[in-house]
Structure 1
């Protein structure tokens, strides 16, 4: 890989250890994010199925509620003014709670009853049965609307989080990990090359020492032969006072 595909770092044993640690962390993070993405995708599909089922049911309930309203108006006449006069505050309210899915907080809406029905006597003289049926049908429609709102909110939240998580997974898999691996390969190759150079340099030094020692031994032997001396010792090549120029000439 080219220099652009790796991290700009000086090759050293410490850098090698650092890159190995970063690679291990990146692989662990990729694994965790992949599991998180899978868990969110499973919940996303389950929510989508519930939305479809709820919308189908919502159509049937609203159709039945509209038919009940027509029946109530036919039996009891116009109910608008009676309902408005008897209603002071809403009895059906909505509260929220949080549901945690793989670290993602999903808002959940729930309906509940607050107080009694203040218009329970509406239409008691005529059409009471149809009005009671109307109230039950519309109450069921409200429950489905709250459930549908909760599901659609969770659906949008999961969709955004899944997109972000998948982008992170792809970035780690296709950018970060390859860059770290390329950097590791570069550091290892540089350290190996440096080791080969040191070994070659050491061999050259040893070779020069050997050649210098052989020359000195030959020179000592020649002097002995010329002077007829046998007790002339060769200088110690490892002595600090020895001329080091022989080693690097």
Structure 2
């Protein structure tokens, strides 16, 4: 109430406050649209992440089976020796894309780069195992990307909700109360001015009558 009482009850302040209410309501509408879009993106990303986790389970089974098969066909010693010769993984590149102002990470690389000449020297069972675990590595990166995106989207959804609630339940009602206060004070001032004018007019009439009596009219 003290904050309202400090508002200047003027026509200009009334116009400014009404404009602020319009702007706040437009901003609230945009925030709600943004939140709906973020929620939609969150569920789409969540479905993709779930599909990737299922795919990872299937690929892991294939990967362990391929290792067992390579060990059976090529021998444990050959398999271990070839694993020591595998080149280092390529550098992992991290970029980002923006979804409704939320920066979502994009992961690329980080896989074992194997040249065709080297693959030709390996038994098929070992090349199959390498290819399977390369796919597994790619899926793990994709899952990490999606899980990070989900956390960021959820944080932004909550932040947008808090902002929209603050505008809808605090800011706009406060401005509405200010408009009501200004309107009340302006009406009060208008009534006071009207009464004052009537009083002045009455007194002027009385003086005019007294003046007429004095001059004998």
TM-score of the superposed pair, with normalisation by structure 2:
0.88
User: Which residue of 2 is the match for residue 184 of structure 1?
Assistant: 179
Question: Does 1:45 pair with 2:50?
Answer: no
Q: Which residue of structure 2 aligns with residue 239 of structure 1? A: none
Unaligned runs of 5+ in 1: 222-233, 235-249
Instruction: Write out aligned runs for 1:189-200 (5 A).
Output: 189-200=184-195
- Whether the 8 Å contact between 1:6 and 1:180 is mirrored in structure 2 is no
Q: Which has the higher helix share?
A: 2
Partner of 1:161: 156
Higher RCO structure, 1 or 2 (CA under 8 Å, sep 6+): 2
Mapped to 2, the partners of 1:70 and 1:188 lie a distance apart of: 83
Matching residue of 2:18:
20
User: Aligned to 1:136, what secondary structure does the other structure show?
Assistant: helix
Aligned to 2:55: 57
Match of 1:75 in 2: 73
Q: CA deviation at 1:96?
A: 2.4
Aligned CA distance change for structure 1 residues 23 and 82 (closer, same or farther; 3 Å): same
C-alpha distance 8-63 of structure 1, shift in aligned 2 (>3 A): farther
Distance 2:48 2:28 in 1: 30
Give the distance between the partners of 1:63 and 1:171, measured in 2 at CA: 50
Output the aligned Cα RMSD: 2.2
**Residue 37 of structure 1, CA deviation:** 1.4
Matches within 5 A, 1:94-243: 94-111=92-109, 114=113, 116=115, 119-120=118-119, 124=122, 128-221=123-216
Alignment length, in residue pairs? 214
Aligned equivalents of 2:55 and 2:88: distance in 1? 28
* Separation of aligned partners in 2, 1:11 and 1:103: 39
